[in-house]
Structure 1
Amino acid sequence: MKLNNTVLVLAMSALLLTACADTEDKDPSLLDGNQAGTGIGDASTNGLNNGSEIGGSNMYGSNSGDGASSLGPEFSDPSNPLSKRTIYFMLDSSQVQQDFVAVIAAHSTYLLANPSQHITLEGHGDERGSREYNIALGEQRAKSVASMMKIQGVSDSQISIVSYGEEKPAAFGNDESAWELNRRVEIDYQGK
């Protein structure tokens, strides 16, 4: 029995370390089209590929951060990728899906053109897993988005990262439709 507990502790430690592993800024897997999850219970995003299907206020990028009111009209135009400020992830994954590469590229281009603008990348997870695991996974998700932006030339000084784990859900519920809305990174503009 003691051997089984030791193996379980080692397996959980390895999983946690894998989720917390830092990626290099130039990790090519962040940009290629092979954005599969980890294979651990991956679920479909059911059409949430670009963040635009989520209705209601404050659900797909109308974040109410201090800088949101100073943003231009392109941020409220639903046909502009800048209006999408939520990046969704597969279960147990911090890999950016191909569907969100254009959204991240648009925000990167905007930040390059506006060097006094700053953002906070807020990482989130669903309620499954321990609090510590979800904090680590939310941070890794935010770091994945930040890495893609930095590869495109965005300055480190323009990007802050915070992880809320499961603490600030976008949707309440104990089913896949709620969980997929909570596995996300929100891009919050802080103002100039």
Structure 2
Amino acid sequence: MTNIKKITKRAMYVPAMLLLGACCTTQPEAVKPLPPPPAPVAPLGDIFFDFDRSGVTSEGDVQLKKNAEWMAANMGKSVVIEGHCDERGTSEYNMALGQRRADSAMDAMVSLGADQARMTAISYGEEKPFDTGHNEAEWSQNRRAHFVEK
């Protein structure tokens, strides 16, 4: 009789073990990979001008394309384009040249598809130099259109 009790006890555990085995051997659901994050859009960058000029250079064109891409990716943002000059020339002349530089940069951005209503062009002339040195290397850093997110 004891053998029958042992067999009966073992028979009770078989279905439970089969159930446990079935639970533990199932394949986990495949985890779908997350989509890659969007490619980062380069932040706004300055463009630089030749001495006494307001025309956009080929290097400036490259940066303006990046700035236009930034504006397209940031539809709720506006941009102020600040025109700057080096210290040479009168204050009045540099204010006018700084405005021409800011306007030139804005016109180029509009031609690349940027929304003109989201841009403002202003001039600081020689009043806000990036570099306060007094030679060509420093002056070249001050002849710029500076882009500011607003």
Partner of 1:91: 51
Helix, strand or coil at the partner of 1:174: coil
Partner of 1:144: 104
Quote how far apart the aligned CAs of 1:83 are.
3.9
Give the TM-score of the pair, scaled to structure 2.
Answer: 0.70
> Which whole-Å CA distance do the structure 2 matches of 1:113 and 1:173 have between them?
36
Partner deviation per Cα, 1:29-64 (whole Å, 9 max, x = no partner)? xxxxxxxxxxxxxxxxxxxxxxxxxxxxxxxxxxxx
Give the TM-score of the pair, scaled to structure 1.
Answer: 0.55
Quote how far apart the aligned CAs of 1:115 are.
2.3
> Which whole-Å CA distance do the structure 2 matches of 1:121 and 1:113 have between them?
18
Q: 2:81 matched to 1:121?
A: yes
Q: 2:122 matched to 1:162?
A: yes
Helix, strand or coil at the partner of 1:120: strand
Give the letter for the 2:69 counterpart. T
> Which whole-Å CA distance do the structure 2 matches of 1:163 and 1:105 have between them?
22
Give the letter for the 1:167 counterpart. E
Helix, strand or coil at the partner of 1:188: strand
Q: Confirm or deny: 8 A CA contact 2:131 2:139 kept in the other structure.
A: yes
Give the letter for the 1:103 counterpart. Q
Root-mean-square deviation (CA, aligned residues, Å) is 1.9
| Structure 2 unaligned residues grouped into runs of 5+ | 1-38
Quote how far apart the aligned CAs of 1:120 are.
0.3
Helix, strand or coil at the partner of 1:186: strand
Q: Equivalences for 1:1-192 in 2 at 5 Å? A: 74=40, 82-83=42-43, 85-190=45-150
> Which whole-Å CA distance do the structure 2 matches of 1:83 and 1:97 have between them?
19
Please identify the structure whose Cα radius of gyration is greater: 2
Helix, strand or coil at the partner of 1:126: coil
> Which whole-Å CA distance do the structure 2 matches of 1:174 and 1:110 have between them?
34
> Which whole-Å CA distance do the structure 1 matches of 2:146 and 2:133 have between them?
20
The total of aligned residue pairs comes to 113
Higher helix share: 2
> Which whole-Å CA distance do the structure 2 matches of 1:180 and 1:105 have between them?
21
Quote how far apart the aligned CAs of 1:84 are.
5.7
